Structure 1
Amino acid sequence: MTPREKPRIVTEHPDFYIVAKPALWLTHPVRARVDVPDVLTFLQRETGELAVSPPHRLDRETSGAQVFSRDTDSARRFFTLFKEHLVGKSYLAIVHGSPEWDETTLDAPLGFVGLTGSNRIQIRQGVVPDGKPAATEFKVVGRKPGFTLLHAFPRSGRLHQIRAHLHHLGLPMVGDKIYGRDPDVFLAFMQTGQTSDLTRRLLLPRQALHAHSLSFGWDGGQVRVEVPLAGDLAAFWEGLPQG
């Protein structure tokens, strides 16, 4: 999978853009990843607006809805909205397994699990007693043998929150190199990059996580934008047997 798909503006407001971010695009330039395209640079070139900036970010492998402010005033307003948790976000995720519930909320603190004999990934998060408060609501959207399509509603904004909570629930995300079923995949990826063998082991070349919607108050009204499930994830889901 290569980042050939380009970002697409789905909402143009005088104060902001909402963009459909493709998978494998960074949110903004990273010096160590000069070979990877980023949405900020793309938007600046496409619109000619150098003041465009992202008040939040999505992981490189995550697709979906992302907002970009268009000037310094709107950037400050979004900073406050995100800081005070006034932006509603929902995600779609494809996971291994089938939960017994149709809806559940996991309220469990998250933090670094630390390097141990069973964990060789420094950035891995997990449910730990002294972690920061984290809550995620999950709802089942669809079920197929061995797999479930979930809606996830994070009520806090912790690092890797949805992925770490799904791992804790025994529902690892398809394609997830850090919290998936195979603990050795991430280290292999860091050494070799994405290979056909890794894609075969993961079933997808990227994690099956998609930012589905954003909602927030603006100028006395309510903004809500949905971005349909990305094409690669929709094709994977539709290609699974019904059972």
Structure 2
Amino acid sequence: MEARHDLPITNLDYPKPITSPPPPISKDIELKRAIEASSKSSLFNLTRDHVLYEDEWLMAVNKPKGVYCESVLSSAPKIIVDSSSNEFHLANRLDRDTSGVMLITKSHKVAAKLVKAFTEHKVRKSYIALSIGPSPNWSKITIKSGHGRSKHGAWRVYAALDVGRVLPGGSFVRDMETTICSEVVSVNGENPEPSESQSIIVVEGEPELSCVGDDVVVVRAFPRSGRTHQIRLHCQYLGIPIRGDVKYHGMYEWRGRTFEGHELHAESLSLEHPVTGDPLVIQSPLPCWAAGDYVTV
């Protein structure tokens, strides 16, 4: 029998995602959070209290949780010292419920330089996250994996060997790398015994790490790449999903309290100034949950 080349291909060999899809409950919760954030963002205005750094070329601000980046950008001209320019751009973006350092540039030229710096991994980013799960038995772990959307449209972790393969919809699996450190971790509000354990995980299949545990674990994460929801995905893979991050199986209700967003904070950016070339380190104040008040805040 001759092959029929005019028939549609229905059984493409798509790579299989490693992490689980969002739980069914996440759809309604995420919709509720989006509506609340839209309302909050429409009323939001930056003040000088939000400003972490400013010069004639750029400004760094501390984005609050539950506010969209676009609302931060649109209100920036009202407080910028020299607002004669109309070339304001976001140099980096944060998820709706992620707080912390955001860079706003004041010209197209500076924006282009910073985009290049981020793309070439010349900007060092530090995040802090509060997770619920088993206490880590490692001090530093680097995860190398693939990243992409599954056939259901959700971001998922893929095997490192799948990088470059085609996904449903025509996109590709891209590389994703995060280093997560636990030498500054707090577990249930206490510092754990120091560990010398350092490891590199190249994701090949289902995670072998235990997901059983109800400890409060605060970690610092240093993403090398800048993929969408990267830290949230890698924390899910490690079995320590971020508290409140219902999309990636984080605790939505925990110890009698409901959490209205995930607890992830962009703590610092370290980079070479795009104009002067001087080293620039921008840090934002830690939210209360990262400063030790884990349960009641």
TM-score class, shorter-chain normalisation, is 0.7 to 0.9
Give 2:101's match in structure 1, choosing from 46, 54, 65: 65
1:239 is displaced (CA, Å) by: 4.1
Distance 1:142 1:6 in 2: 34
Q: Which runs of 5+ in 2 are unaligned?
A: 1-35, 163-172, 189-213
Question: Superposition pairs for residues 103-114 of structure 1, below 5 Å?
Answer: 103-114=140-151
Q: Do the aligned partners of residues 44 and 84 (structure 1) sit closer, same or farther apart at CA in structure 2, a change above 3 Å counting?
A: same
> In percent, how many aligned pairs have the same letter?
29
Distance 2:243 2:256 in 1: 10
Q: Aligned pair count?
A: 210
Q: TM-score, normalised by structure 2?
A: 0.64
Q: Which has the higher contact order (CA 8 A, sep 6+)?
A: 2
Q: Does the CA contact (< 8 Å) of 2:142 and 2:177 recur in 1?
A: yes
Distance 1:174 1:25 in 2: 18
Q: Which runs of 5+ in 1 are unaligned?
A: 29-37, 116-121, 186-197
Q: Does the CA contact (< 8 Å) of 1:90 and 1:152 recur in 2?
A: yes
Q: TM-score, normalised by structure 1?
A: 0.77
Distance 2:243 2:228 in 1: 18
1:200 is displaced (CA, Å) by: 8.4
Q: Do the aligned partners of residues 40 and 202 (structure 1) sit closer, same or farther apart at CA in structure 2, a change above 3 Å counting?
A: farther
Match of 2:202 in 1: none
Asked if 1:83 is matched to 2:119, the reply is yes
Match of 2:24 in 1: none
Question: Superposition pairs for residues 187-226 of structure 1, below 5 Å?
Answer: 203-218=258-273, 219-226=276-283
Structure 1, 5-14 or 92-101: larger mean CA deviation: 5-14
Match of 1:15 in 2: 57
Could you say what secondary structure the match of 1:111 adopts? strand
Letter in 2 for 1:208: E
Q: Do the aligned partners of residues 201 and 114 (structure 1) sit closer, same or farther apart at CA in structure 2, a change above 3 Å counting?
A: farther
Asked if 1:174 is matched to 2:231, the reply is no
Distance 2:278 2:186 in 1: 32
Letter in 2 for 1:87: V
Could you say what secondary structure the match of 1:108 adopts? strand
Distance 1:19 1:199 in 2: 31
Structure 1, 4-13 or 78-87: larger mean CA deviation: 4-13
Could you say what secondary structure the match of 1:25 adopts? coil
